[in-house]
Amino acid sequence: MHQCITQAAAVGAILSAVASWPTAAIAEYKCDNPRSTIDQRACAKAAEGPAALRQFVTRTQTIWGLYFWDYAPREEQATAAAPALTPAPADAPKTARAAIDAR
């Protein structure tokens, strides 16, 4: 009985340690230092453009398990992460209630 509790505590400690790892430390841009042949091929496709990279990743997904954003150029990642916000016109009502009241 005591051994089962010890094992459960060890598993819980390991799972909580893994869950608390920051995702930024895990994710990396693989074209900075392509290590394998498949990484080199994916980086070559990324240099051709996002459409070629997406097609390559989709085509080889079941074999290699590639992830598009590991190979996408950094400029693309920045624009995808922070979409441009357009301000509302000055005469636009702030809330739906204000629009109803204005009628």
- 72 occurs within a structural domain: yes
Residue 24: per-residue pLDDT: 41
pLDDT at 35: 87
- The total domain count for the chain is 1
In a domain, 93, yes or no: no
The pLDDT assigned to 23 comes to: 45
pLDDT of residue 25: 42
- The answer as to whether 57 is a domain residue is yes
- The burial of 66, by beta-carbon neighbours within 10 Å (0-12 exposed, 13-18 middle, 19 or more buried), is given as buried
Domain with 78, as residue range(s), is 23-82
The structure tokens listed for 5 are 């509790």
Task: Enter the tokens of residue 42.
Answer: 């994916």
Q: Is 97 within the bounds of a domain?
A: no
Q: Quote the pLDDT of residue 51.
A: 93
78 three-class SS: helix
In a domain, 87, yes or no: no
Is residue 12 in some structural domain? Answer: no
The predicted model scores a pTM of 0.49
CA 21 – CA 17 distance, rounded (Å): 7
Q: What is the pLDDT along the chain (103 residues), one digit of tens a residue?
A: 567 777 766 666 665 655 555 544 445 678 888 889 999 999 999 999 999 999 999 999 999 999 998 888 876 555 555 555 566 566 655 565 555 665 5
